Amino acid sequence: MKRLIIATLIITALSLSSIGIGTATAGEVLHQVSTIDALLAGLYDGVLPVKDLKQQGDLGIGTFDSLDGEMIVVDGKVFRVSADGRASVVADDETTPFASVTHFDAEQQLQLPTDTTLDSLKTLIAQTGLSPNLFHAFRLEGSFNTVATRSVPRQVKPYSPLVEVVKSQPLFNFEQIEGVMVGFYCPAYVKGINV
């Protein structure tokens, strides 16, 4: 069974049996709705419809109005990973308070050994020569021995800061699954804008 997994989720004891990875083509644009500091402060009201977000990219991550779950954008489809750990396609009229998307066209592909762990994956990525001063989008497809994920439940006003919300976030463990992970590498100098 294929599952969608968000790369920004907590990933522990990750061991990959097969995976491909790519970075966004040079010259591509990363479109972002709001800033991570705004989200951390509790600004969870959606400001951009999913329909408009999809015009800006076909790969990405984010959240929904009222912090209602995690967003993953894969192949132009927008999914919500809800507080029960299930992924579902969302309607175009849903809104987002924070998201990052890009039109993804891999310029690099790596086939990884079956015993790849999260630490060895980080090392392999560092060895590709990617600039630490640029944004990079990643799409990883493969079989995962173990993945731990999280999501957040819908919030009600007055909103609590994100640091308080995540204290009670549900955690989910998956074993022996196939799926797609997406995410972004963001340079250190954009702290407060993105992570």
Q: Which residues of the chain have pLDDT under 50?
A: 1-26
- Which residue ranges make up each domain of the chain? 2-189
Q: What is the pLDDT of residue 27?
A: 54
pTM of the model: 0.84
- Contact call for residues 136 and 54 (beta carbons, < 8 A): no
Angle at CA 25, nearest 5°, toward 55 and 13?
Answer: 95
Q: Which CATH class is domain 2-189?
A: alpha beta
Q: What is the DSSP string of 46-113?
A: --EEHHHHHHH-SEEEEE-GGG-SEEEEETTEEEEE-TTS-EEE--TT-EESSEEEE----S--EE--
